[in-house]
């Protein structure tokens, strides 16, 4: 099982090669400033099974970082698990899912013009989440599942350093986020399959360590001269994020009770959209100039307009907010026969002021991810050619 494996320091691999990567070298010279954490798992395959070799750099599960959009991946996986648990005839990921409201500031979702049918569904929400990190799609799954189901299920799977307690990019208070919209599921003829009323919890799931970041932040256009409190913000340690990805890609690494419980076809759906490039989508269409392959895939290609070659399968979820740049991926090169997991967080906020939109994500964050991915890829390629 994942929890029992031996993990080696990654430092020597990084330092031997950092001279070829100027941004990576700059970051590694000041790892505390950039709060870098790296988990790398080399996958060595033979004719019988894969052997995994684990490496770490500066990983600290107790160190808080804002997980941004990376929490959308466990939401997508749990939505499919919840669906499988219902065991209701004709209720599938493609069933029409209508979100109603019971109070302000909740909003309805009765249509989805980006879907072929013009109607929302779990599968289409997952597609938009994984192709372009759509916030509204993620919020609809949060409203379907509710905080209690989300957090208790993740805890049962051993993901004990994760808290998901709010919608994304909408001005909901903590109280608002404890109420979950009514939801209806319909079949293709418009007949009711399942109806959920409004649900609520008495207390929100929160970060008991009461983490704070920065030295100041903007709120409502005004500068608040104190660190920003993330007690009521989402949390996900790098180990947990890496664990979510591995539970999807290689569930056999984990005990049955620690896996996501969904069908093989649902897992295939999730993996399909984790890999799909925005340019391959037709409903909706995502213009390549606006959504290049690197839009949500930072390793090796981050910040570059080039297409990812067809022989490289890149399954991932990324995130970027408050100066944090995060990616977690399983990357395999079918032409070269190499594969690895790589999960990384870097914090790029030189002035330590949050919400001022002055972050070094483009000059430090994404170039670091690109160079690190290239380093790991070429390290593993070199090992293969030495055999």
Strand-pair partners of 341: 41, 330
Flag whether the pTM goes above 0.85: yes
- The pLDDT value given to residue 5: 66
Using CA atoms, how far apart are residues 171 and 323, in angstroms rounded to an integer? 20
DSSP 8-state symbol, 366: H
Whole-angstrom CA distances from 145 to 18, 77, 79, 195, 276 are: 44, 11, 7, 13, 25
pLDDT by residue for the chain (387 residues), tens only, comes to 444 468 999 999 999 999 999 999 999 999 999 999 999 999 987 656 779 999 999 999 999 999 999 999 999 999 999 999 999 999 999 999 999 999 999 999 999 999 999 999 999 999 999 999 999 999 999 999 999 999 999 999 999 999 999 999 999 999 999 999 999 999 989 999 999 999 999 999 999 999 999 999 999 999 999 999 999 999 999 999 999 999 999 999 999 999 999 999 999 999 999 999 999 999 999 999 999 999 999 999 998 999 999 999 999 999 999 999 999 999 999 999 999 999 999 999 999 999 999 999 999 999 999 999 999 999 999 998 887
Burial of 29 (0-12, 13-18, 19+ CB in 10 A): exposed
Tokens of 377: 């890829």
- The pLDDT value given to residue 48: 62
Q: Which domains does the chain have, with CATH numbers?
A: 2-250+261-386 (3.40.710.10)
Strand-pair partners of 324: 321, 347
Segment holding 110, helix H or strand E: none
């Amino acid at each position: 099982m994942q929890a029992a494996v031996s993990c080696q320091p990654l430092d020597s691999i990084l330092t031997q090669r950092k001279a070829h990567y100027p941004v990576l070298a700059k970051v590694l010279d000041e790892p505390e400033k950039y709060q870098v954490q790296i988990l790398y798992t080399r996958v060595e395959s033979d004719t019988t099974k894969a052997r995994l070799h684990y490496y770490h750099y500066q990983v600290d599960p107790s160190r808080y970082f804002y997980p941004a959009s990376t929490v959308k991946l466990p939401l997508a996986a749990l939505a499919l698990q919840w669906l499988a648990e219902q065991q209701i005839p004709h209720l599938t990921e493609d069933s029409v899912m209508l979100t109603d409201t019971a109070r302000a500031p909740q909003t309805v979702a009765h249509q989805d013009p980006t879907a072929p049918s013009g109607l929302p569904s779990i599968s289409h929400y997952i597609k938009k989440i994984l192709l372009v990190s759509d916030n509204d799609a993620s919020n609809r799954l949060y409203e379907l599942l509710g905080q209690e189901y989300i957090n208790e299920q993740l805890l049962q799977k051993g993901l004990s350093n994760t808290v998901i307690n709010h919608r994304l990019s909408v001005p909901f208070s903590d109280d608002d986020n404890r109420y979950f919209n009514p939801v209806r599921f319909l079949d293709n003829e418009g007949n009711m399959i399942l109806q959920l009323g409004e649900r609520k919890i008495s207390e929100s799931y929160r970060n008991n360590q009461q983490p704070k970041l920065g030295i100041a932040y903007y709120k409502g256009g005004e500068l608040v001269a104190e660190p920003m409190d993330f007690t009521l913000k989402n949390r996900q340690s790098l180990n947990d994020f890496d664990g979510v990805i591995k539970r999807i890609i290689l569930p056999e690494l984990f005990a049955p009770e620690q896996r996501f419980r969904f069908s093989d076809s649902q897992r295939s759906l999730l993996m399909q959209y984790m890999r799909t490039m925005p340019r391959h989508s037709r409903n909706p269409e995502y213009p390549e100039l606006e959504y290049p392959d690197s839009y949500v895939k930072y390793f090796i290609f981050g910040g570059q307009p080039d297409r990812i070659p067809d022989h490289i399968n890149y399954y991932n979820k990324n995130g970027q907010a408050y100066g944090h740049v995060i990616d977690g991926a399983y990357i395999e090169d079918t032409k070269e026969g190499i594969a690895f997991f790589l999960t990384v967080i870097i914090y790029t906020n030189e002035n330590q002021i949050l919400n001022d939109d002055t972050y070094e994500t483009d000059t430090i964050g994404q170039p670091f991810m690109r160079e690190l991915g290239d380093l790991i890829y070429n390290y593993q390629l070199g090992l293969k050619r030495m055999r």
